[in-house]
Structure 1
Amino acid sequence: MATTPCVALLGTCDAKLEELLFLRRTIEGNDVDVILMDVGRCHTVHDAINITQRKLIGDFGDGKDVSELPRGEVIKCMAACATKAVTKFFQHDQIHGIVSAGGSGGTSLAAKVMRNALPIGFPKMIVSTVASGDTGPIVGETDITMMYSVVDVAGLNKVLRNVLSNAGAAVAGMAHAYVSRKQNTTPPEKKRVGLTMFGVTTPAVDAIRHYLETNYAIETYVFHATGHGGKAMERLIREGGLDAVLDLTTTEICDHITGGVMSAGEHRLESAAEAGIANVVSVGATDMTNFGPMDTVPERYKGRKLYEHNPVVTLMRTSVDEATRVGGFIAEKLRRHAKNPKAIQVWLPKGGISMIATPGGPFEDAEADAALFDAIRDGLAGSGIEVVEDGRAINDESFAYDVAEALVKNMGIRSAH
């Protein structure tokens, strides 16, 4: 295994060579090697470029000239080639960090490479002119570190030198730390369990987390069910980063179905089922769809039961029809993707599926809840997946302990005490 870290530096050398060379020198000044990869539109010749644009396309693409293609096509082509190259470097332990610097186009290209080629935990950084805006589409469900360039990456000046110097030192430090972690080959002592949480299911998740970590050799990973949180958990499962899942809060499905702002997309619930790991699923916060401030709620929903969670989050109560569709989504995903149906349980807390959906609460709706439960029960009939119907509320402490014990039993582990 390499002891001197190496960082891949992605950039459009036809437009940003001066700035990229400065960043390269900064990284190397921190005892880290650099592989400079040119992902620009036009072929650029310079001794410091380790992988030229022409070589990148030749080795990992079709070798055709892209200089006359539309900008979007150039980005798509170069991103595809760079993804293959970076994947190869990673698989052969030749790089221990990756960094890029540029504008919106370069940022989009580099982010796509980082998201597709590298796992969570691998050091990733982008110095970008758009890092102070909406970075959700750039970062996605990954751990890309974004640093705002303040000024454009277009000619060196004092401000940009300072920013790039900080970025170079940061990614070098991350690469050193990554190599150090890789050299520690001690196997993990604790099982890794993913939990999904929302504000209205926090009491349950806190109780589950404390119970599991106190009584068993378990380390919990809590994912905030805001869309990106669900995607991150699904990704970490695919990467082999979790041993079991207690998917208590499946609220993101509501947003996917109704057009809310916290959807995790159409592939929610697939990864754990496909992996065949212990997987306890519940219906936490499926009584609601999330929107922004009250005045951002779509016109078609203005007449619905709305609840101002805080000044920037408005909740909409799930209707009977929507609850049926949510239950159908859960059942269909688990049934279709279950590698091992016996590893999956679905728990239905009939006393309330969120903090505000209990009897007397603002989102109490027995008819909608019944539709949700019926759709899940009917959809999983004959599948081999157990459905547990429970009269308690999801945030009842005893419910939390019992659902945690159900997961532990499915995992086949013993108490640490």
Structure 2
Amino acid sequence: MAYPRIAVLGTCDTKLAETLFLRDQIIRSGEADVLLLDVGRTPVQNNYINISNSELASRKSADGPSSLAQMSRTEYIKYMIECATSLVTELFQKGEIHGIVSASGSSGTSLVTAVMRNALPVGFPKFMVSTMVSGDVSHLVEETDITLMYSVVDIAGTNAILNQILTNAAAAITGAATAYCRNGGTTLANVAAKQRKKRVAITMFGVTTPCVDAIREHLESNYAHEVYVFHATGSGGKAMERLIREKQLDAVLDITTTEIADELVGGVLSAGPQRLTAAAKAGIPQVISVGACDMVNFGPRDSVPTEFSSPGNKRLLYEHNPAVTLMRTTQEECTRIAEFIASKLRDQAVRPDLVKVILPTGGISMISTPSQPFYKPESDTALFDTLERHLEGSNIEVKRDDRAINDRGFALLAAELLVEVVRKKEAEEQSDNEFKCSYQYMYSIKEEKKMEMEMEMEMENMPWVI
């Protein structure tokens, strides 16, 4: 097996010694090669730098190297993110790198993690040693799988503590890159594709778990499907949408769309305003429901905004656990949620015939069924009615089912609806492949070439006037 090659990114004008130490530890293992990229602001002369900051900066503009010094720090970081992302994407697509690692302070961390997020898919080994990763790191990782290691001491000169941490980081990225290279440079989701399994995404919350468990068991037991469950906590929805854009998923059972409630009402688990767009734009089979749209998520009870406890707006709250407080959505909020879902599907779905919406009128979560604290049928009715009204005439089927979302019968119905649209797309693809292999297809290509040649001959014989 060929050695894996690891991209080491460093701001060499400020972190040269530390970056070279990290590089040397990878080389010393004898198990990987290194490509060192200088993403610093000012040029550095060093024989171990494989791609200089000038080379990177020139990818976007010929005068990039000379203009970096005149840029503000923010401008330089944005500029270098674009340049480095372009190169790292190219290296990945050619199969020339199998892992990426860096050690930086705040500015370098922002730069390098952006490159990792923008250039590389989920499943590709990414490792970041930083002074900034002992607090809130959501802005660094977002919905990706970047592995973070706290540097403990500042990355400001090598010393016994930092050297040991960098040695550990070198060993970690070498091991991950070796495994990635051994697997043929494929992401885990692509392994399922090679096994001819359909890669199916499902969204889940604690209050929709029985439904999702039943669907997963049914699909994996009865069909050649591999199921990926995404926890609908904001980052989970974003991760699923990212994998769809990366073509690492073939179909979606979006059972739990609760992140939309948080986006519209102000909860803490929003997946952003682009939720529901990736699968619609990709034209892949999808079945959508309204699981847990009866709730907006907050932290501990005292973290719920005061606007929801005022005398004129006192809301129904439920403590899911000491760290999570749920707030029941109102009739007006459920109407807005339905309008959001319908607008995304109507505006973005390139294949509306491959989209189905299924509504569990018996309860949209574990705590919204009769006798449970969030049982508010008027709110759920507004959700169902609005969805049906706004999707009318869209060629998107909307189906009501009188069971609750966690009823096993509902779960199996949702699973079989997905199988139905997956089979429809498979039949279309098979028919298309058969046509392309047919004599009719070959004849049409031949005739097209013949026409092109005749047109060229006519152009050559035409008397041009100068």
**Fold conserved between structures, TM > 0.5:** yes
Is the Cα–Cα contact under 8 Å of residues 105 and 132 in structure 2 kept in the other structure?
Answer: yes
User: Which secondary structure does the structure 2 equivalent of 1:34 belong to?
Assistant: strand
Tell me how far apart the structure 2 counterparts of residues 4 and 246 of structure 1 sit (CA, whole Å): 39
Point out the structure with max Rg over C-alpha.
Answer: 2
The 5 A counterparts of 1:179-190 are 179-182=181-184, 187-190=194-197
Per the normalisation by structure 1, the TM-score is 0.96
Per-residue CA distance 1:135-172 (angstroms, 9 max, x = gap): 11110011111111111111111111111011111111
Kindly report structure 1 stretches of 4+ aligned residues shifted beyond 4 Å. Answer: 183-186
Give 1:45 deviation, angstroms: 1.2
Tell me how far apart the structure 2 counterparts of residues 273 and 58 of structure 1 sit (CA, whole Å): 37
Equivalent residue number for residue 392 of structure 1: 403
Q: Is 1:175 the counterpart of 2:187 in the alignment?
A: no
What RMSD over aligned residues (CA atoms) do the two structures have, in Å? Answer: 1.5
The 5 A counterparts of 1:15-34 are 15-30=14-29, 31-34=31-34
Tell me how far apart the structure 2 counterparts of residues 104 and 293 of structure 1 sit (CA, whole Å): 30
User: Which secondary structure does the structure 1 equivalent of 2:367 belong to?
Assistant: coil
| Structure with the higher fraction of residues in helix conformation | 2
Equivalent residue number for residue 9 of structure 1: 8
Equivalent residue number for residue 301 of structure 1: 308
Equivalent residue number for residue 209 of structure 1: 216
Tell me how far apart the structure 1 counterparts of residues 105 and 319 of structure 2 sit (CA, whole Å): 37
Q: Is 1:59 the counterpart of 2:62 in the alignment?
A: no
- Gap runs ≥5 in structure 2: 427-466
Query: Which amino acid letter does the alignment assign opposite residue 191 of structure 1?
Result: K
Tell me how far apart the structure 2 counterparts of residues 88 and 278 of structure 1 sit (CA, whole Å): 30
Equivalent residue number for residue 439 of structure 2: none
User: Which secondary structure does the structure 1 equivalent of 2:67 belong to?
Assistant: coil
Equivalent residue number for residue 349 of structure 1: 360
The 5 A counterparts of 1:80-119 are 80-119=82-121
Is the Cα–Cα contact under 8 Å of residues 274 and 337 in structure 1 kept in the other structure?
Answer: yes
Tell me how far apart the structure 1 counterparts of residues 90 and 196 of structure 2 sit (CA, whole Å): 30
Query: Which amino acid letter does the alignment assign opposite residue 313 of structure 1?
Result: V
Per-residue CA distance 1:297-350 (angstroms, 9 max, x = gap): 111112211111111111111111110010001011111111111111000000
Equivalent residue number for residue 38 of structure 1: 38
Per-residue CA distance 1:266-286 (angstroms, 9 max, x = gap): 111111111111100000000
Equivalent residue number for residue 291 of structure 2: 284
Tell me how far apart the structure 2 counterparts of residues 61 and 207 of structure 1 sit (CA, whole Å): 54
Equivalent residue number for residue 405 of structure 1: 416
Is the Cα–Cα contact under 8 Å of residues 95 and 185 in structure 2 kept in the other structure?
Answer: no
Tell me how far apart the structure 2 counterparts of residues 53 and 243 of structure 1 sit (CA, whole Å): 39
Picking from 123, 133, 149, the partner of 1:131 is 133
Q: Is 1:315 the counterpart of 2:326 in the alignment?
A: yes
Give 1:29 deviation, angstroms: 2.0
User: Which secondary structure does the structure 2 equivalent of 1:142 belong to?
Assistant: coil
User: Which secondary structure does the structure 1 equivalent of 2:293 belong to?
Assistant: coil
Give 1:183 deviation, angstroms: 6.5
Q: Percent identity over the alignment?
A: 57
Equivalent residue number for residue 230 of structure 1: 237
User: Which secondary structure does the structure 2 equivalent of 1:65 belong to?
Assistant: helix
User: Which secondary structure does the structure 2 equivalent of 1:101 belong to?
Assistant: strand
Picking from 121, 124, 127, the partner of 2:123 is 121
Q: Is 1:255 the counterpart of 2:274 in the alignment?
A: no
User: Which secondary structure does the structure 1 equivalent of 2:183 belong to?
Assistant: helix
Mean Cα deviation higher: 87-96 or 254-263: 87-96
Is the Cα–Cα contact under 8 Å of residues 125 and 177 in structure 2 kept in the other structure?
Answer: yes
Per-residue CA distance 1:78-116 (angstroms, 9 max, x = gap): 111111111111122111111111111111111110111
Is the Cα–Cα contact under 8 Å of residues 61 and 81 in structure 1 kept in the other structure?
Answer: no
Query: Which amino acid letter does the alignment assign opposite residue 223 of structure 2?
Result: Y
Residues 5 and 180 (structure 1), Cα distance of their counterparts in 2 relative to 1, 3 Å cut = same
Per the normalisation by structure 2, the TM-score is 0.86
Give 1:373 deviation, angstroms: 0.7
Tell me how far apart the structure 2 counterparts of residues 179 and 61 of structure 1 sit (CA, whole Å): 33
Tell me how far apart the structure 1 counterparts of residues 355 and 300 of structure 2 sit (CA, whole Å): 37
User: Which secondary structure does the structure 2 equivalent of 1:94 belong to?
Assistant: coil
Tell me how far apart the structure 2 counterparts of residues 328 and 338 of structure 1 sit (CA, whole Å): 15
Query: Which amino acid letter does the alignment assign opposite residue 266 of structure 2?
Result: G
Q: How many corresponding residue pairs?
A: 413
Tell me how far apart the structure 1 counterparts of residues 128 and 5 of structure 2 sit (CA, whole Å): 16
Tell me how far apart the structure 1 counterparts of residues 60 and 34 of structure 2 sit (CA, whole Å): 20
Mean Cα deviation higher: 321-330 or 57-66: 57-66
Mean Cα deviation higher: 17-26 or 41-50: 41-50
Mean Cα deviation higher: 165-174 or 280-289: 165-174
Equivalent residue number for residue 370 of structure 1: 381
Is the Cα–Cα contact under 8 Å of residues 98 and 185 in structure 2 kept in the other structure?
Answer: no
Per-residue CA distance 1:220-266 (angstroms, 9 max, x = gap): 00000000000000011111111111000000000110111100011
Mean Cα deviation higher: 194-203 or 149-158: 149-158
Equivalent residue number for residue 441 of structure 2: none
Tell me how far apart the structure 2 counterparts of residues 390 and 100 of structure 1 sit (CA, whole Å): 52
Equivalent residue number for residue 445 of structure 2: none
Give 1:133 deviation, angstroms: 1.2
User: Which secondary structure does the structure 1 equivalent of 2:267 belong to?
Assistant: coil
* Structure with higher RCO (Cα < 8 A, 6+ apart): 1
Per-residue CA distance 1:173-205 (angstroms, 9 max, x = gap): 111111111168892232111000000000110
Is the Cα–Cα contact under 8 Å of residues 348 and 390 in structure 1 kept in the other structure?
Answer: yes
Query: Which amino acid letter does the alignment assign opposite residue 36 of structure 1?
Result: L
Query: Which amino acid letter does the alignment assign opposite residue 325 of structure 1?
Result: R
Tell me how far apart the structure 2 counterparts of residues 339 and 66 of structure 1 sit (CA, whole Å): 42
Tell me how far apart the structure 1 counterparts of residues 123 and 183 of structure 2 sit (CA, whole Å): 10
Picking from 336, 340, 343, the partner of 1:329 is 340
- Gap runs ≥5 in structure 1: none
